[in-house]
Structure formats: C-alpha cells, structure tokens
Amino acid sequence: MPDPIRVLVTGGTGFVAGHLIAQLLNSGYLVRATVRSLNRDKDIHGSLARVGADLSQLEVVAAELNSDDGWAEAVDGCQYVQHVASPFPPRQPENEDDIIIPAREGTLRVLRASSAAGVRRVVVTSSFAAIGYGPKPSGAPFDETDWTDTNGPVSPYVKSKTLAEQAAWQFAAQPGSPELAVVNPVGVFGPLLDENMSTSVQIIDGLLHGRPPVLPRASFAVVDVRDVADLLIRAMTSPQAAGQRYLAAAGQPVTLPEIAAVLHDRLGADAARVARREVPDWVVRTAARAFPSLRELAGLLGAPKAVNNTKAITQLGWQPRPVAETVTATAESLLQLCSAAAGR
C-alpha cells in the first residue's frame, strides 16, 4: 500500500479549517494543523472528537503568520498545503496595515516554506472579497475572472484578502514554485464544531436572539462550510485545478428577510425571537451613522451582487447544498450549543 499523504492545514482552530481537517482525516489523510499557540491543541481535538474524526492521524504544531518561526518544520514532509489562516478582526482596524501586512506576508511565508520543502500544491482559501468589489455592469454576475479594485472605497479586510491573493499568484508565477489553486468563498455558514462563531454565523445567532429587531434588506451569497471544505479538497487533488481559482457559492444572494423566513419555517417555536418586520434602506443607512454595529449591514443594502458558481461545478464536480439547508443547519447547531451550555 502507498504511504499516507500528509497535508498541512494552517489556522487549525478556524471554522473552515476545522471542517476541512475533519474531512481530510475521514478521507485517510495524515493532517498537520498549525495554531498560534499549542495551548489551543485541546480545542482542536475537542471539536473534532465531536464529529468522530480519527484524531490518531492529527498532529498540531505552532506557527504564526507574522513570524518565520515554525513554518519550515510545519511543511516538512507535506505533499499538500491548505493555507486557510487569515486575520479576520471583529472590527475593522484604524490602520489598514494591521490586517493587510499579516494577511499578505503570512501567505508569502507559507508559500516560501512550501517551495523550500518541495510541496506539490498549495491551496489558498481567499474570499469573494477579492472578487466582488470592482467595476461590473449592473446585474452582471461576478466570477473568477473578476478582481476587487483595491483603490476603490473598500474595507481593510477586503483589501487584505485581495492583496494577499494577488501576492500568492505573483509568487506562483516564479519558476520552481509549487502549484497553486485558490478557493474564494462567499459568506460561510453551516454547523459549528465548537462555541467559536465566525462573523457570518453571528448573523444567524443574532437573528435567533432578536437582533436586529427589524430586518434590513441586506443581501449576501451563502455557502455551507462543509461544501467549502469539500471544494478545497477537490482543488487540492484535481489535476485541472492547478493554476485556477474557484468561486464557492451555493447560488444567488439572499436577503436577511428571506433568511428569517427560512428560520420561522424550519424551526417553529425556536425562531420565536426572529424579527419579521422589514425596514426601509434609508432608515438603516441613517441609523448606521450613529450605530457602528449597523454599518456592515448598511454596506450590504442595494442591488445584490450576483455570482456565477459554474466553474467549480463543471470543472471539479462540486455540488453545494441548498441555502435553506445551510441556514437551518447553522441555526440548529447554535441551538444545540446553547442547550449544552445551559445544561452544564
């Protein structure tokens, strides 16, 4: 029998990384995961144990995006690298370099170490943020050929994801570099592995707790975290994925009122606190001037950003779950975590 294939997954405590590690382990890979501190070792093992992953094939090592320390050891003996780690602050920093530098330089650190170690392919988890904030004819869908304009009025996070991905492609163009594939997810939802909520999942958690009390017509595209993990593995193993980027979206954008309607329909009494009444866009924009917590939602008002997910489906055979199924799974996992916490 051939020796097992070892895969490095960066940012092992993250939402996407956790599901990716679980799927890799269940598929028979050896997995080495990086964390900023080995104090998080128990966190990874605990969350993966809940989904029945084979922890005997998992190794956890320490490496940070802002330091060269540990990366040579992390990539040693790995045929593939899944670079998932990226800074995602709860609030946008005052100095954009606080997020841009670790995102871009961290990606280059991983690529340099991978190149030196003879890694076959690196898959970078980028974002729709690197695609969907550039000029586009009204109603035309965004796809993998589009790039965000970093000179436009974009947030530090959007700029960081764009510049980090561009740096990755520039590195990959150098002779002798590992193959590169990139996956660009939209808003990532789905079942949690632990109590650490991603920014997207916090939207569902807020709705279940009656926040906001009225519903802005904010819109965003959705993808299930389990499907993102599946696409990352397909991008890692499929020969045709080398040198390609793939937009990961389950379909066209949905509005917050549409998500609320799914929760009411699927959860019944458990969705009792989810708002039902919509609020005009102008009210949200006005209120956002006084309440910073509304600014993210205000930025999602207006015409939805249409997306085209055909490339991942046709090239890699990817089949994303329906949005309603993903929204329901997200809410049910939140309710389960809440119930478990109350029972302690």
Give the H or E element holding residue 118: none
> What does 130-169 look like in DSSP terms, one character per residue?
GTSSS---TTPPB-TT----TTSS--HHHHHHHHHHHHHH
Nearest to 84 by CA among 169, 10, 33, 192: 10
Please report how many Cα atoms fall inside a 13 Å half-sphere around the Cα of residue 211, on the Cβ side.
9
Nearest to 16, CA basis, from 129, 131, 125, 109: 125
Residue among 151, 173, 174, 208 at smallest CA distance from 333: 208
Q: For residues 139 and 306, is the Cβ–Cβ distance under 8 A?
A: yes
Given the residues 159, 161, 305, 311, select the one marked as catalytic: 161
* CA–CA gap between residue 165 and residue 148 (Å, rounded): 11
Whether 311 is a known active-site residue: answer no
> Tokens in use for 89?
């602050």
**φ, ψ for residue 229 (rounded to 5)?**
-60, -40
Rounded to an integer, what is the distance from CA 108 to the centroid of its chain? 19
Report how far apart, in Å, the C-alpha atoms of 31 and of each of 87, 102, 300, 334 are.
Answer: 22, 24, 37, 27
Please give the Cα distance from 316 to 149 (Å, whole number): 28
Q: Which residues pair with 8 in a beta bridge?
A: 32, 81
Give me 315's structure tokens.
């090239």
State how far the alpha carbon of 331 is from the alpha carbons of 203, 253, 256, 275, 327, in Å.
Answer: 10, 19, 14, 15, 6
Number of Cβ within 10 Å of residue 331's Cβ equals 25
- Residue numbers annotated as active site: 161
